[in-house]
Amino acid sequence: MKKVLVLGLVVLLVIGSTVAASSQAPEWIVYDTANSGLPHDHVRDLAIDEQGNKWMGTEGGGLANFDGETWTVYDTANSGLPHNSVWCFAFDEQGNIWIGTFGGGVAKFDGETWTVYDTANSGLPHDLVRDLVIDEQGNLWIGTYGGGVAKFDGENWTVYDTANSGLPSNYVWRFAFDAPGNIWIGTARGGLAVYREGGVILTGVQE
């Protein structure tokens, strides 16, 4: 009788552990074009806004937003997005999203209105945009593939390229800011450059 009780207890423990394991949240969840509203399986950039919405820039499918339940896609067919190849984006303090496209320049989207900046209507030096970031002063820094670096303060454009600055290559891939305010610039075929208006600070913030 004891053996039967012990065997029954073991069976219950196994069943219980199996049920518990099956009720746990999965460690991996995959979203793709086959099982979700993601418009393209090649995701170039990803960010989460202050409301927790996930934004994805895709190679050929435009820009996607996922709030945890609903997918919203912005592309050239249904919005003011100038190109469906979205390589990068950044959020400013006003909640606008700045979108860098590989072929259509830069777009600003405030949730309702789209504003496009390209070589035809602005000081942007190239419409192939690889990266963009916003500094503490609210300036937009744009890395282009062939036109160097552009800085936009909301009104004025400043371009840094191999002809007018120490930038080693006009093919700019990535930006990063450090604590003293230097902007680190990764280039194709030109290595790494560091720039700071007023002088580069590499050993700490100078008074």
User: Quick check: 170 and 147 in contact, CB under 8 A?
Assistant: yes
pLDDT score of 36 more than 70? yes
Report the C-alpha gap between 110 and 98 in whole angstroms: 9
pLDDT (0 to 100) of residue 204: 56
* Count of alpha carbons within 13 angstroms of residue 156, beta-carbon side: 1
pLDDT (0 to 100) of residue 203: 73
Q: What is the mean pLDDT of the chain?
A: 90
pLDDT score of 35 more than 60? yes
SS3 category, 43: strand
For 101, the enclosing helix (H) or strand (E) is strand 97-101
Section 60-82 average pLDDT: 98
Type of residue numbered 54: K
The tens digit of pLDDT for each residue in 155-196 reads: 999 999 999 999 999 999 999 999 999 999 999 999 999 999
Section 32-54 average pLDDT: 96
Report the C-alpha gap between 87 and 105 in whole angstroms: 11
Out of 1-5, 50-54, 142-146, least confident range: 1-5
What are the φ and ψ backbone dihedral angles of 22, each rounded to 5 degrees? Answer: -70, -20
Instruction: Output 137 or 206, whichever has higher pLDDT.
Output: 137
pLDDT (0 to 100) of residue 22: 53
pLDDT score of 207 more than 70? no
User: Quick check: 92 and 86 in contact, CB under 8 A?
Assistant: no
Give residue limits of the domains in the chain: 38-195
Report the C-alpha gap between 144 and 118 in whole angstroms: 11
Q: Which CATH number fits domain 38-195: 2.130.10.10, 3.90.1300.10, 3.40.50.300, 2.60.40.1190?
A: 2.130.10.10
Confidence of residue 3 (pLDDT cuts 50, 70, 90): very low
DSSP-assigned states of every residue in 114-154: EEEE-TTTSS-S-SBEEEEEE-TT--EEEEEBSS-EEEE-S
Q: What is the pTM of this model?
A: 0.85
Confidence of residue 8 (pLDDT cuts 50, 70, 90): very low
pLDDT score of 4 more than 50? no
pLDDT (0 to 100) of residue 9: 39
